[in-house]
Amino acid sequence: MDGAVERRVPTPGTRRQCALRPAAGGAGGGAAGHRLCHRRGGQPRRHRAGHLPRRQPPPHHLPLRPHPPRRRARPGAGAARLPRRAGGHRHLAALRLRPGALMELSAEEWQAIRLSLEVAGRSVLVGLVPAVLVALLLSRSRFPGRFLLDALVHLPLVVPPVVVGWALLMLFGLRGPIGAPLHDWFGIRLVFTTEGAALATAVMSFPLIVRAVRLGLDQVDPGLEAAARTLGAGPLDRFLTVTLPLMAPGILAGAVTAFAAGLGEFGAVITFASNIPGETQTLPLAIYTATQSPGGEAVAARLAGLSLALAVALLLLAEWVARRMHLLLGRA
């Protein structure tokens, strides 16, 4: 019949799957021409690339398949790995400073700290009085060669510390123009000794004291000194009773700053006094020795942290002393 739909049920032996479309022409040829059969029953049909099967839903209606759960990455798995070497993990573990690491310093490390404090203290005692006199001379006097003296005083601030140490070695060595008479006549040897380390540190910190004292002198009112002179006070009396108390904040600030700088002096000390444990090995030299030794990273880290803490504490102390002295003088 025209317009009829013929359906054939596949037998179990052939396992065909056929779908017939409505015949457009006749019942015989039309139905046969539009009969689609799948001769591979139970197997997926192959399609050309770029063509989807007729009954397959469009891509935007495809069911989403649940992705398999991802394995959670371990912490630090994506970080860059350090190159492996013998004992590397032990060195990295040693760098972790515990709260009580300061109390675990060895006897050599405590000796380096004690020697640094001793050398810095001696350098301040040696250079404080000459620095005050030079500051007074540069601030209150006018003479030929004043600018040359000012440049010579501040020269250690601009030249490499190794150059200063070499100059001290040439002057105060056993064959130097100053060191030879001291050793021959008085038996004093400065090279490669603790006293030599203190001398090198004093030369390097001398400009710091001079600058601080000059800043303190600039804040002294000349009218007060003039009033004391009109009252009959002599030069020494005016200096001890008027000038010195007013410039005391600059002196104290310069002394504390020079002490802090002396704790970190390296180039001049190692050139003039060498690096002798227990004699001239200060805190910076001990850090340098630790960095050059295998497995000394933990020692260098402890000493560097301690050096940084001392420097910050001393700088804060210098600022507090200067402000405290200004307040006391303002109340007076």
Structural domain includes residue 58: no
Q: How far apart are CA 219 and CA 144, in angstroms?
A: 25
Structural domain includes residue 229: yes
Q: With H, G, I as helix, E, B as strand and everything else as coil, classify residue 36.
A: strand
Structural domain includes residue 87: no
Under DSSP, the state recorded for 84 is: P
pTM of the model: 0.65
| Domain of residue 283, residue span | 110-331
Structural domain includes residue 208: yes
Q: With H, G, I as helix, E, B as strand and everything else as coil, classify residue 80.
A: coil
Structural domain includes residue 178: yes
CA angle at residue 270 from 265 to 273, to 5 degrees?
A: 105
Looking at residue 29, its pLDDT comes to: 45
pLDDT in tens, 261-283: 999 899 999 999 999 988 899 99
Under DSSP, the state recorded for 96 is: S
Residue recorded with tokens 């180039």: 267
Residue recorded with tokens 């070695």: 169
Comparing 58 with 301, the larger pLDDT belongs to 301
CATH number for the domain harbouring residue 219 = 1.10.3720.10
Q: Average model confidence (pLDDT) for the chain? A: 76
Structural domain includes residue 324: yes
pLDDT in tens, 25-67: 444 444 444 444 444 444 445 545 545 555 555 555 555 555 5
pLDDT in tens, 230-260: 888 888 888 888 888 888 888 988 898 899 8
* Count of structural domains, the chain: 1
Structural domain includes residue 139: yes
pLDDT in tens, 60-92: 555 555 555 555 555 544 444 544 544 444 544
The two three-digit tokens of residue 208, written as one number: 């710091």
Structural domain includes residue 17: no
Q: How far apart are CA 187 and CA 206, in angstroms?
A: 26
Are 194 and 280 in contact by the 8 Å Cβ rule? The answer is yes
Under DSSP, the state recorded for 99 is: T
Looking at residue 195, its pLDDT comes to: 93
Q: How far apart are CA 208 and CA 262, in angstroms?
A: 11
